[in-house]
Amino acid sequence: MPSDGSGRQPKYQRIAAELKAAIRSGRYGPGDRLPGENDLMAAHGVARMTARQALGVLQAEGLAEARKGAGVFVREFRLIRRRGIQRLAADVWSQGRSIWAADTEDRELVVDFLSATDEPAPSAIAVVLGLAEGARACVRRRRFLLDGKPVLLATSYLDAALTAGTAIAEPDSGPGGIYARLADLGREPVRFREEVRSRMPTPEEADRLGLVPGTPVVLVCRTAYTADGHAVEVNEMTLDASAYVLEYEFDAQ
């Protein structure tokens, strides 16, 4: 979004806007050190607090991060492009150019935490899965890292009565994962709904995702449906908002 009304902007915002433009133009690339407080004070004739505020803006927006004693650096983190509708990846639409640069093609998400437990289904989940109040859920929790940094927490809920004794209730759900196992049970998901929200993280989420202060989380709640329209899985995902672009493509009408 183009910034306007620059005439009325406080100085620190104008300096921040210049730094952002310099990052966008590629003058400062990922991992580069930005001008420090002393540099900005000299270049713009401003007080230390103003220079600090300007650098604070970039940090609050997730564009830069402070490293103790070393200065403020352009964040190295490359955005992950998460495609909601994979089947379209290969066709002409996906070859169009995109606003936000992102690449994961050469990188892999690594799971560093995984558990599968049997628990009472939270009541909101029970409603979606069509379970009786107090019924039990198979709960699969995972955390994903990219380049060594946690980026995604995911918790899947399924009907424990359906999954008991199957590989779905095991940490390793076997080749093809839980959707392949659901297909084995005649409950293959054929349709998905994803609901997307964003908010500031809870302290626990910030800790588990190692979030830079001022970074929101994106919440994706994905429900998987069988051909007869029943929900078989609810997956609540919590994403580091500074790490992800979600992409959805669809036809008109």
Q: Which 211-230 residues touch a copy of itself, going by CB under 8 A? A: 214-218, 221, 223, 225, 229
State the Cα–Cα distance between residues 61 and 172, nearest whole angstrom.
38
The yes or no reply on residue 96 touching a copy of itself (CB under 8 A) is yes
Report the nearest approach of a copy of itself to the CB of residue 169 (Å).
Answer: 18
The yes or no reply on residue 203 touching a copy of itself (CB under 8 A) is yes
Count the site residues for a copy of itself by CB under 8 A: 73
Question: What H or E segment, with its residue span, contains residue 224?
Answer: strand 217-225
Mapping DSSP to helix (H, G, I), strand (E, B) and coil, where does residue 1 land?
Answer: coil
Which x/- pattern, by CB under 8 A, does the window 72-91 give for a copy of itself?
-------x----xxxx----
User: Which of 66, 71, 70, 73 lies closest to 19 in space, CA to CA?
Assistant: 73
Stretch 18-77 residues interacting with a copy of itself (CB under 8 A): 57, 60-62
The yes or no reply on residue 204 touching a copy of itself (CB under 8 A) is yes
The yes or no reply on residue 197 touching a copy of itself (CB under 8 A) is yes
The yes or no reply on residue 247 touching a copy of itself (CB under 8 A) is yes
Stretch 139-168 residues interacting with a copy of itself (CB under 8 A): 153, 155
The yes or no reply on residue 5 touching a copy of itself (CB under 8 A) is yes
225 DSSP β-pair partners: 191, 231
Radius of gyration of the chain (CA): 22
Report the nearest approach of a copy of itself to the CB of residue 2 (Å).
Answer: 6
Report the nearest approach of a copy of itself to the CB of residue 69 (Å).
Answer: 25
The yes or no reply on residue 92 touching a copy of itself (CB under 8 A) is yes
Report the nearest approach of a copy of itself to the CB of residue 74 (Å).
Answer: 15
Provide the b/e sequence for 199-220 (b: ≥16 CB within 10 Å). Answer: eebeeebbeebebbeebbbbbb
Stretch 113-132 residues interacting with a copy of itself (CB under 8 A): 122, 124-125, 127-128
Contacts for 46 with CB less than 8 Å, ≥ 6 apart: 11, 12, 15, 40
Query: What are the φ/ψ torsions at residue 42 (nearest 5 degrees)?
Result: -70, -45
Q: Identity (one letter) of the amino acid at 212?
A: V
Report the nearest approach of a copy of itself to the CB of residue 249 (Å).
Answer: 5
State the Cα–Cα distance between residues 139 and 117, nearest whole angstrom.
5
Report the nearest approach of a copy of itself to the CB of residue 47 (Å).
Answer: 19
